[in-house]
Amino acid sequence: FKLGGKMISGTNLNAFRHGLQKETLVGRGEADNKMVGVGVNDKGETNAVRAFVQDYYSVGRSKSLGEQVVYDAGFWKLRQISIGYDFTKMLPGKFFIKGIRLNAVANNVAILKKWVPNIDPEQFGFSSDNLVGLESTGLPTTRSIGFNLNVRF
Give the Cα separation of 117 and 112 in Å (integer): 13
pLDDT tens digits, residue range 80-135?
A: 999 999 999 998 988 899 999 999 999 999 999 999 999 988 877 665 666 677 88
pLDDT at 29: 63
Q: Is residue 1 pLDDT above 90, yes or no?
A: no
pLDDT tens digits, residue range 38-58?
A: 788 889 999 898 888 777 777
Label residue 3 by pLDDT band (50, 70, 90).
confident
The conformation of residue 18, written as its DSSP 8-state character, comes to T
Average pLDDT (135-139) is: 80
Label residue 15 by pLDDT band (50, 70, 90).
confident
Label residue 24 by pLDDT band (50, 70, 90).
confident
First to last CA, the chain: 40
Q: Is residue 61 pLDDT above 60, yes or no?
A: no
Give the Cα separation of 91 and 99 in Å (integer): 8
> Shortest CA distance to 23 belongs to which of 3, 41, 38?
38
Domain spans, the chain: 6-152
Classify residue 15 by burial, with Cβ atoms within 10 Å: 0-12, 13-18, 19+: buried
pLDDT at 143: 93
